[in-house]
């Protein structure tokens, strides 16, 4: 007899006849009800830090689609903001931070134990969600992985190749390693508070893991993620952790072999057959429909959804996307995807 919560049952290594399903960025701009709340909330950060609004937008896709999991509505850059960095969102351009560029600036960042005052509203949102979600729905807490968060802290913004962060990584390894350590410590404390508030699963998003290679991947993507997962499991025995080293290719095997992850989220480039043969014998896999299908719909959406369920559904499998649903995604295509998975 497995866990009645399907997602937790799969993360425990079991197979569900119908795989549990949720979507990255499932609370978001593709939903008219989200856009309405966003309008009333004001800015994006106002939405993140207001437990009334953040709880509501987290619950919206659960009400509409009955997903098997809800993921806390927040942003990966709340942690650097809580560490003392200035954060703002430029309309149409995404997040901006005032960059840290040397060891002195990095040492001036607040220590892990000083972040909680800023992040208290996020913990309140988790607490409310734990009380309000349907009993069969799993609550996922999350954070950005240290490498991805550090790339924004060094460059002040996102970029496809993370050149600024990699220049510091290669050119001033002492400073960059210190930054990774400080972010790792803060992330552990942040996620521990989410678990204390009611999060049942933790997911670690390393959106830029694919820009690292060789020993740098091991040092700055794998090692910090393992440190975080291991420490959380020490504090909260039995806590499931999902890793997402997007773009890691063969590096997914290193994550699967680390022994501290219960699930791996696969980006859209990971072949399903390879994941079934190489990763799934070791842990649950999650993914990995291309989000573009939720814009275009049609037979391609149905066929690809069915293909993923056929290939991965014989083992521990959580249906998800290879990355977050985009604002252009259509709710009716989400309905169609769900009808194929559940039908």
Q: How far apart are CA 209 and CA 248, in angstroms?
A: 6
Selected catalytic residue, list 38, 166, 193, 246: 38
> Is 38 designated active site?
yes
Closest CA to 15 of 276, 339, 255, 260: 276
The one catalytic residue among 29, 35, 157, 276? 29
Residue 234 is a catalytic residue: no
Catalytic-residue membership of 75: yes
Q: Is 152 a catalytic residue?
A: yes
Handedness of CA 230, 231, 235, 239 (dihedral sign): negative
* Structure tokens, 326: 């985009």
b vs e for 190-218, b when ≥16 Cβ sit within 10 Å of the residue's Cβ? bbbbbbebbbbbbbbbbbbbbbbeeeebe
Triad 233, 243, 63: Cα angle to 5°: 95
Which residue among the candidates 34, 123, 152, 190 is catalytic per the annotation? 152
Note if 29 is an active site residue: yes
Q: What are the structure tokens assigned to 141, written together?
A: 């807490």
3-class secondary structure, 87: strand
Of 49, 68, 75, 220, the active-site residue reads: 75
Residue positions annotated with a catalytic role: 25, 29, 38, 75, 152
């Amino acid at each position: 007899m497995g866990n009645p919560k399907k997602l937790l049952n799969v993360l425990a290594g079991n197979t569900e006849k119908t795989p549990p399903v949720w979507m990255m960025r499932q609370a978001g701009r593709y939903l008219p009800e989200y856009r309405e709340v966003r309008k009333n909330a004001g800015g994006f950060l106002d939405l993140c830090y207001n437990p009334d609004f953040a709880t509501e937008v987290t619950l919206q896709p659960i009400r509409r689609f009955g997903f098997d999991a809800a993921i806390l509505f927040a942003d990966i850059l709340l942690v650097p903001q809580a560490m003392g960095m200035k954060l703002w969102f430029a309309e149409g351009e995404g997040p901006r931070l005032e960059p840290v560029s040397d060891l002195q600036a990095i040492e001036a960042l607040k220590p892990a134990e000083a972040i909680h005052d800023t992040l208290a509203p996020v913990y309140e949102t988790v607490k409310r969600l734990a009380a309000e979600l349907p009993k069969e729905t799993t609550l996922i807490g999350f954070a950005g992985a240290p490498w991805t968060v550090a790339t924004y802290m060094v460059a002040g913004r996102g970029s496809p190749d993370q050149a600024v962060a990699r220049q510091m990584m290669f050119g001033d390894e002492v400073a960059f390693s210190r930054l990774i350590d400080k972010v790792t410590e803060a992330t552990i404390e942040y996620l521990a508070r989410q678990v204390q508030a009611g999060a049942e699963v933790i997911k670690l998003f390393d959106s830029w893991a694919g820009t690292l290679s060789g020993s740098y991947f091991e040092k700055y993507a794998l090692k910090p993620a393992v440190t975080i997962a291991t420490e959380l499991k020490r504090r909260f025995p039995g806590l499931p952790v999902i890793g997402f080293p997007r773009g890691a290719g063969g590096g997914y095997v290193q994550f699967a072999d680390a022994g501290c992850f219960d699930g791996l989220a696969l980006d859209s480039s990971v072949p399903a057959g390879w994941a079934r043969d190489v990763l799934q014998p070791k842990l649950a896999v999650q993914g990995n429909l291309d989000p573009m299908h939720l814009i275009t719909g049609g037979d391609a959406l149905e066929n690809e959804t069915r293909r993923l369920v056929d290939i991965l559904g014989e083992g521990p499998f959580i249906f998800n996307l290879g990355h977050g649903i985009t604002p252009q995604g259509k709710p009716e295509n989400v309905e169609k995807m769900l009808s194929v998975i559940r039908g």
